[in-house]
Amino acid sequence: MPPSLRFFALTIAALCIFLGTCSEPPPLTEQIQYRGTLRVITRNSPVTYYIGPGGPMGPEYELARDFADGLGVKLELMVADSIEDIVPAVESGQADIAAAGLAITAGRGQQVAFGPTYDEVSEHLIYKLNTGRPRTLDDVVGARLEVAAGSNHAETLERLRDTHPDLVWIENPVAENEELLVAVSTGEIDYTLADSNEFAVSQLFHPELRIALDLEKDRRLAWAFVKQRDQSLVAAARRYFDRVHESGMMTDLKERYFGHAQDFDYVGTRAFLRDINRKLPQYRYLFEQAAQSSGVNWRLLAAIGYQESHWNPTATSPTGVRGIMMLTEATAGQLGIEDRLDPNQSIVGGARYFVRVKRKIPERIAEPDRTFMALAAYNVGFGHLEDARIITQIRGGNPDEWLEVRDNLPLLAEKKWYSRVKRGYARGWEPVNYVDNIRNYLSILEWKVPDERIKQASRTDDSLAPPGRDTG
């Protein structure tokens, strides 16, 4: 055999041996680490991922980013055009993971593998207040019921049709769940289905939405993975979520994104939405200017101002606090504010005071907890906040976590506890409500008020009804 042919034969043989030994690809986690990116598909919604004033936000985004960091790779985020596109993207290998608030369903289970459950939700039938609450699914027959195509809601309706054969609905191929909730609030459609976490957040923006029926309870949420023999990525996710639950990270995420939505106030929310259009345009520039000089988010300043006075520049309390930011005479004097009833001076003073209070909060306390504690101190005083932190520590809690301090602030009104701290009695439930309200207002402002411009005043329905799921 000529040398050239002999060399060629040896090369082929070596290649065959190499291929034989490498017929099994490396584990998926190693492939991802070699690639340097984790490809995650998600969707835009308040409960998954969105762009906030400070950049990318959302519980699914934070979890995916943290998981990617743990693998030592960058997060490559893909945003689906519709829910219907998410599972096929994972099934085809276009995405490594779907982190999109997906409920585990039988239909999806045929296409993808699910990781560990990280949360549970209920599915509700949603209607608009004052349109008549359906008491059973039979009351929905003949009305316009619409859900997102490819959603767990579509699967739920398919199952329910076995017992309600006359049930008819539309599966929208382009709309997100949030869009359909808006469509119910505007009367464009009669009903939709929503997961409990999405509904709680959406009701802040659309307070006329109500729950008619609970259709499914204890729906388990999980990440979705491609179905294959290699389970290394699923195993890594299982270890990750074990750590997430053990560390309290999941509790913190739920509190940060959904905790403020628990105490829904229909009348107050409707009034705030109207005032965004009617009052805020007069003062937005002043809030923005104060934000530039103080470094405080202007929407946060606006939320504080609304909680204090409902953006009323002449507001005066029986105790003598005055103006949009409701400054005391002593505080105004310390801040160099001469006229508390002047909107500009009041807002500047409020911004300065908040910065002063926040500087007292230990820097080791991470955001957003540091801001929440500063808000509580703005309301009840730094000393009482410190007392609540001491009580938290006495009771075995973490005084640097707002969620735990929040639970202990009301104890300042109980002699058993306020007698053990320096400043004594305080109406400790007030700063809790104060912070929760501001968080609600801030959340609405972040979603409703774009940076470019504010909507001009529009006609709104002044008819109000008390909150409650049975109204209408």
Q: Provide the pLDDT for residue 469.
A: 35
Beta bridge partners of 224: 98, 114
Let me know: does 291 contact 298? Beta carbons within 8 Å: yes
- CATH number assigned to the domain covering 119-221: 3.40.190.10
Best CA proximity match to 248, nearest among 368, 401, 405, 407: 401
Residue 28: C-alpha distances to residues 71, 91, 187, 338 (Å): 11, 15, 48, 66
CATH 3.40.190.10 in the chain, residues?
Answer: 25-118+224-258, 119-221
Query: Which tokens sit at 6?
Result: 């002999």
- pTM of this prediction? 0.66
Give tens-digit pLDDT for 399-445.
Answer: 999 999 999 999 998 888 888 999 888 888 889 889 988 998 998 89
Residues in the chain: 472
Q: Provide the pLDDT for residue 342.
A: 95
Give tens-digit pLDDT for 270-298.
Answer: 888 889 999 999 999 999 999 999 999 99
Distance, in Å, from the CA atom of 414 to the CA atom of 428, rounded to the nearest integer, reads 9
Q: Provide the pLDDT for residue 445.
A: 92
3-state secondary structure of 64: helix
Let me know: does 102 contact 224? Beta carbons within 8 Å: yes
Let me know: does 175 contact 185? Beta carbons within 8 Å: no
Element (H, E) at 446: helix 429-448
Q: Provide the pLDDT for residue 182.
A: 86
Angle between helices 177-186 and 196-205 (to 10 degrees): 50
Per the omega criterion (within 30 degrees of 0), is the bond before 281 cis?
A: no
Q: Provide the pLDDT for residue 429.
A: 85
Which fold does the domain 25-118+224-258 belong to in CATH?
D-Maltodextrin-Binding Protein; domain 2 (3.40.190)
Query: Which tokens sit at 55?
Result: 């950049």
Which listed CATH number (3.90.1150.10, 1.10.530.10, 3.40.50.150, 1.20.120.430) goes with 267-448? 1.10.530.10
Best CA proximity match to 225, nearest among 81, 93, 43: 93
Let me know: does 141 contact 231? Beta carbons within 8 Å: no
Report the first-to-last Cα separation within the chain, whole angstroms.
93
CATH 1.10.530.10 in the chain, residues?
Answer: 267-448
Q: Which residues are catalytic?
A: 308
Q: Which residues of the chain have pLDDT under 70?
A: 1-23, 52-54, 260-266, 318-319, 451-472
Backbone angles phi, psi at 125, to 5 degrees: -85, 125
Q: Provide the pLDDT for residue 349.
A: 95
